[in-house]
Amino acid sequence: MTRYLITGAAGFIGFHLASRLLQDGHEVVGFDGMTTYYDVRLKEARVDLLRQHPRFQLVVGMLEDRDALAAAADLAKPDVIVHLAAQAGVRYSIEAPRAYIDSNLVGSWNVLDIAKAVGCKHLMMASTSSVYGANETMPFRELDRADEPLSLYAATKKAMEAMAFSQSHLFGLPMTMFRFFTVYGPWGRPDMALFKFTDAILHDRPIDVYGQGQMARDFTFVEDLVEAIVRLADIVPNEANRVEGVDTLSKVAPFRVVNIAGGSPTPLMDYVGTLEDALGQKAQINLMGMQPGDVQRTFADASLLRALTGYAPDTTVQTGVAAFVRWYHEYHR
């Protein structure tokens, strides 16, 4: 049994990770601000399910509140901290930039500081494929430069990575930084494309498809993402598990960056077509231009993840979208 502290436990990914860890017999303390960025009732429904496990406890507080976060850490006495909480969304970072500074910079600093104080064995932090920004080399490799973020959201995540590296170097705290690629699935966020498209199609509203429908994404099913995180939790960065040729393990810190994705981009219009098949209903499509801060295509190199864990996400878009649609109908019945 391992003791985990998960920030963002009421969120989409945090909920799935906490559920898996509890099913595997671990203890989980969740920390979440229960913010109103999207419908809090969805977060509450996730938490209600987690509370059915006797080894789960939730502390409600904001990342910026160091005392609240420290109280959660005192309760958890964590072996592993998984930092998933963040202000998400590329487009919202243009509308409400301060929320990203407070959560993704100040809040992430508090996580780093507390992880050092409690001496956890492994700190795992969620970054994003958005940090690759204007990089045109495909597929995105962790060793590629990621110095041209196209949104404040991406910039705050890249800054978090840099802060984390410095702390890992200075204090020897083992850290794994994982970069997510367009995660989707049951219990997903209402601001994400799959949820918005499903709701619009079922209510006979048109959907806005940006980039004139020419975009592509390396979609990652949430259960695959969780499987990768669970496997990486046991692989604490050190020289004994260095992978020659593709590893990002630093020579001056127990710090590693890992892409989590299958390395198989799907054109956005194919994604929409898969959703239409799952719903049995055609979409009314508005083709739109590119939005500020967005990128045309994401495509991960998953070589490092495979080398470390023997695994990479492999759920097909057809299977994953169908699972989301089943959940959506059940949740909204």
Enzyme catalytic residues: 153
Which neighbouring-strand residues pair with 220? 183
Site of tokens 């959506």 = 328
State how far the Cα of 329 lies from the Cα of 309, in Å rounded to an integer: 34
Contact between 129 and 143 (Cβ < 8 Å): no
SS3 call for 256? strand
Q: Which two tokens stand for residue 280?
A: 């049995």
Instruction: Label residue 25 exposed, middle or buried (CB < 10 Å: 0-12, 13-18, 19+).
Output: exposed
Question: Looking at beta carbons, which pairs linking 190-198 to residues 24 or more positions away fall under 8 Å?
Answer: 190/38, 190/39, 190/42, 191/37, 191/38, 191/88, 191/89, 191/92, 193/271, 194/271, 194/275, 194/321, 194/324, 195/324, 195/328, 197/272, 197/275, 197/283, 198/275, 198/279, 198/324, 198/325, 198/328
Longest CA span, the chain? 56
State how far the Cα of 91 lies from the Cα of 150, in Å rounded to an integer: 11
Contact between 262 and 278 (Cβ < 8 Å): no
Q: What residues contact residue 134 under an 8 Å CB cut-off, 6+ apart?
A: 148, 150, 295
State how far the Cα of 41 lies from the Cα of 37, in Å rounded to an integer: 12
